[in-house]
Structure 1
Amino acid sequence: MDADPRQYEQIKINGNDSHNIILSYLMHGCFKDTVESLVASTGLKISVAQLEDMEKRKQILHFALNGNALDAIQLTEQLSPDLFQNNKGLLLDLLSLHFVELISSKKCTEALEFAQAKLTPFGKVQQYVQKLEDFMTLLAYEEPEKSPMFRLLSLEYRQHVADNLNRVILGLENFVDGSTKAPSKQLPSDITKLNPDYTLWFRQYQIILGAILGSCSDCIQHIVACADTSRQAFEQLNATYAGTSRSHIISLKSRLAKNPKGSRYMTEFLHDMKTIADELALVQNPVTNEDLIVHIVNQLGNDYANIAAAIKMRDTTITFADLFDKLVDHERTLLEAQSTLPIVTVNTTQRYSSRPHGRPGTEPRGPNRFNGTGSRFAKPPTQQGWHNSSRGNRNPSFCQYCSISGHETKDCRKLARFLKENNITISMNQPSSPMVNTSSARPTSPSPSWMMFDTGASDHVVPEVSSKSIQQ
C-alpha cells in the first residue's frame, strides 16, 4: 500500500522545497526560459546536463506536435537508445503521426509506400492490427477529415502521443502504476533527519497529480479532486470511465442495438455507432465488424432498404469503412434528388372571359363547387359517395355539369355552349356504371377514331346516361 501523504502534514516545508517543487514541474513541461529565470532569482542549482536533457525533450515534443514524427523518433533514440525496444506501441503511434501528415498533405502515394515499409511489420502482432486498419481507412477518402477515423487527424491525438512520449522518457509511468514505492521518511542512519529521497518522491508524485488534475475538464475534476497520489487519481479515472462492470457493458450494448438513425445526417449516425463500439472495446468487450454492420444496417430506415438488402446478399462481410463510404454517397444522392424533385401539378380548366350567361368569374352553384385546385371534387367519389348522391337527388332530372335540377347533363345548355365555343366534340357511350370521362380539344387535323378527347377540365363525373353524341 502506498504511503499516505497526509501522514506528513505536520512536516514543515521551507522555501527551497517549494521552489524545488515548482522547478520540477517546469522541467517536466520543458519550460526552459521560465526554469532559467527561476534559477537566477532563487539561487537554485541545476546542472548543465539537466538543461540539455530538457532542451532535447522540448525539441522532441515540438516535432511530435507538428507532425515531424521521424525527427522526434531520431532524437528520442539519441536520448535513450533502448526506449522503443520496450515500447513498440509508442513507436507505432509516432510512425502513424508521419503517415497521417502525408495523407493530410495529399501525398497518398508516399503515404502508401511509407506504410508498406514502416507500418507493415506491426501487422504481425495482433494487438496492433485494428489500429493499422484504422489508419489505412484514411487512404480511402479524398477528404480524410470526413472519414470515420477523423480523430486521428486532430491536434488532440498528436498531443496525446506527445504526452505519452514525454512520460516514457521521464520514466513517470512507474509513478502512475504504483511500481515506484515511497521511500522511508527518515534517514536509516539518523531518524531525526528527513530522507532526501522521500522529498524527491513526494515532490514528483504531487507534480504528476497536478498534471492529471490540470488535464481533466471541469465536469470530471471532482472525480480525482480527493486523490492523494497520482496512482489513486489514475485508478479513479480508470474505474469511472473504463470500468468493466456488467451493467456498463449491457448499457453500451443496448445503446448500440437501439440507436436508430432518425433525422440525423449519416456521418453523425455512423460516428455515434463507431464511438459506442470503441467504448465496448475499451472495456474488453469488442464488437466484431460483422456485428457492427448488422446493427447499423438494421437502424437505417426505409430510404436505405435497397442498400441493406444488397449488403445481406454479400458472400463476404463489408468493412465499416466501405459501408461508411457507400451510405454517405447514397445519402448525398437522396438529398440531390429531393432538391431537384419537380413540382407535381394538375392541369386545371381555363376559364375564358366569356362565361355562360355573361357572368365572368362565376362558379357553378350547388354542392359540387370547384375547390382550390380547379377540380369539381376534392377527391374521386367513393362508392358510398355515389350512394349518398343518388339518395340526395331522387329527381332524375339533375345536371352533373351545372348542378341545377330540372334537366339532365345531356340537355345542359351551358355544357352545349361551352363545347361549341371551344370547338369540342365528345361521344358518351352508355357505360355499365358511373365512370370518369376525359376529353381534349379537337385538333385541327382529323384524329383517329380511338383517340380520347379532353375538354381541358381535370375530370368530369357523369352518371349512367343513355348513349348520346353531341356534335358541333
Structure 2
Amino acid sequence: MNFDNSPPVQNDKEEKNSYDRGKLDDLQISRTDMNMLIMNYLVTEGFKEAALKFQQEAGLQEPALCSSLDERIMIREAVQNGRIPEAIAMVNTLHPELLDNDRYLYFHLQQLQLLELIRAGRAEEALAFASATLAEAGAADRNALIELERSLALLAFPDPHASPYADLLLPSHSQKIASELNAAILKMENQEYTNPKLCSLLRMILWSQSELDKHNAKYPKMTDLANATIEHPK
C-alpha cells in the first residue's frame, strides 16, 4: 500500500514554472517610491535643473545636492560636447589623483579625444595622437588594445559613420564615458550611491529574467525597457 501523499513531480514543476497573475498585478510600486527613484537618477547623474524642477512638480522635499554637482555638470557637458582636454583639466582640478589612480578611465577619455580627431577628418593627427598617447595603454591592457584597434579602424573607411565601428561616434558612447567619469567622481567623494538606483534596478530585472528563462519559467517579461512593455505568458 502506498502512503505517499505528495503530488507528482511533474505537478511540482508546473507549479514552480507558473505564476498567479492576480497576485502580481496587485504588486504596484507607489508613486512616492517611483518619484524618489527618478529624483535619485537626476541628482546622481548631475541634472541639477531637472532635479529642482521635478522636485517642485512632484511635491518632494528639496533634493540633497552633492557639493560637486555644479562641477560634475560642467565636466559632463564638456565630455559630451567633445571638449575632452577641458574635461580632463576640470577633473584634475577637482580631484587631482582620480585619473592617476584610474588609468582605464583616463584611457577612455583619451580615446574620446582620438575619436573627435577622427570625426573631424584629421587622420594624420589622430594617428600621431594614438601613437604618442594611447599606444602605451594598449600595450599594457588587452581590453584597451581592442578598443584602440576599433577606434583606429574607423580611419580605414571613407565615411566612418557608415563603418561597422560607427557606434563609437554616436552620442551614446560619449554619454557612457561621461556617466563612468561621473560615478568615479562620486566614489572619490565617498557618496553612498555612485550609480543611479534606477540603473541598478534595470540591471537586476535583466538578470532575473535571464535566470527565469534558463528554467523555462512562465512570468510577465519586460520586453522593452525603454517603454516598460510587459508581455504576459499565454
**Structure 1 and Structure 2 fold alike (TM over 0.5):** yes
**Partners of 2:63 and 2:171 in 1: CA distance:** 36
**Partners of 1:122 and 1:164 in 2: CA distance:** 18
Per-residue deviation, 1:105: 0.9
Identity over aligned residues, as a percent? Answer: 27
Per-residue deviation, 1:125: 0.9
**Partners of 1:156 and 1:148 in 2: CA distance:** 16
**Partners of 2:210 and 2:181 in 1: CA distance:** 20
Alignment of 1:33 with 2:49, yes or no, is yes
1:166 to 175, 182, 185: 182
Q: SS in structure 2 opposite 1:171?
A: helix
Aligned 8 A contact 1:209 1:233 in 2: no
**Partners of 1:69 and 1:148 in 2: CA distance:** 24
**Partners of 1:238 and 1:60 in 2: CA distance:** 36
1:135 paired residue number = 151
Alignment of 1:83 with 2:98, yes or no, is yes
**Partners of 2:34 and 2:145 in 1: CA distance:** 47
One-letter amino acid of the counterpart of residue 137, structure 1: A
The aligned runs of 1:409-424 (5 Å cut-off) are none
- CA distances 1:203-253 after superposition (whole Å, capped 9, x unpaired): x59x8332345xxxxxxxxxx5xxxxx7x457558979xx9xxxxxxxxxx
The aligned runs of 1:19-418 (5 Å cut-off) are 23-36=39-52, 38=55, 44=62, 46=64, 50-51=66-67, 53-127=68-142, 128-171=144-187, 204=193, 208-212=196-200, 224=202, 232-233=204-205, 236=208
Change in CA separation of 1:238 and 1:136 when aligned onto 2, cut-off 3 Å: farther
Q: Which runs of no fewer than 5 residues in structure 1 stay unpaired? A: 1-14, 175-199, 214-223, 225-229, 244-472
- CA distances 1:317-341 after superposition (whole Å, capped 9, x unpaired): xxxxxxxxxxxxxxxxxxxxxxxxx
Change in CA separation of 1:93 and 1:45 when aligned onto 2, cut-off 3 Å: closer
Aligned residues: 177
Per-residue deviation, 1:77: 1.9
**Partners of 2:183 and 2:150 in 1: CA distance:** 25
Q: Which runs of no fewer than 5 residues in structure 2 stay unpaired? A: 1-31, 215-234
Change in CA separation of 1:28 and 1:143 when aligned onto 2, cut-off 3 Å: same
Q: SS in structure 2 opposite 1:148?
A: coil
Change in CA separation of 1:239 and 1:33 when aligned onto 2, cut-off 3 Å: same
**Partners of 1:101 and 1:44 in 2: CA distance:** 38
TM-score for both structures, normalised by structure 1: 0.32
TM-score for both structures, normalised by structure 2: 0.61
Aligned 8 A contact 1:67 1:101 in 2: yes
One-letter amino acid of the counterpart of residue 130, structure 2: A
**Partners of 2:112 and 2:91 in 1: CA distance:** 15
**Partners of 2:147 and 2:210 in 1: CA distance:** 21
- CA distances 1:138-171 after superposition (whole Å, capped 9, x unpaired): 2222211233322211122112211211122222
Change in CA separation of 1:23 and 1:137 when aligned onto 2, cut-off 3 Å: closer
Change in CA separation of 1:102 and 1:43 when aligned onto 2, cut-off 3 Å: same
Aligned 8 A contact 2:41 2:198 in 1: no
Per-residue deviation, 1:122: 1.1
Per-residue deviation, 1:70: 1.7
Higher relative contact order structure (alpha carbons within 8 Å, sequence separation ≥ 6): 2
- CA distances 1:119-138 after superposition (whole Å, capped 9, x unpaired): 12213214222222112212
Aligned 8 A contact 2:84 2:110 in 1: yes
Aligned 8 A contact 2:40 2:197 in 1: no
Change in CA separation of 1:141 and 1:18 when aligned onto 2, cut-off 3 Å: closer
Change in CA separation of 1:23 and 1:157 when aligned onto 2, cut-off 3 Å: closer
**Partners of 1:152 and 1:45 in 2: CA distance:** 34
One-letter amino acid of the counterpart of residue 102, structure 1: L
Change in CA separation of 1:42 and 1:151 when aligned onto 2, cut-off 3 Å: closer
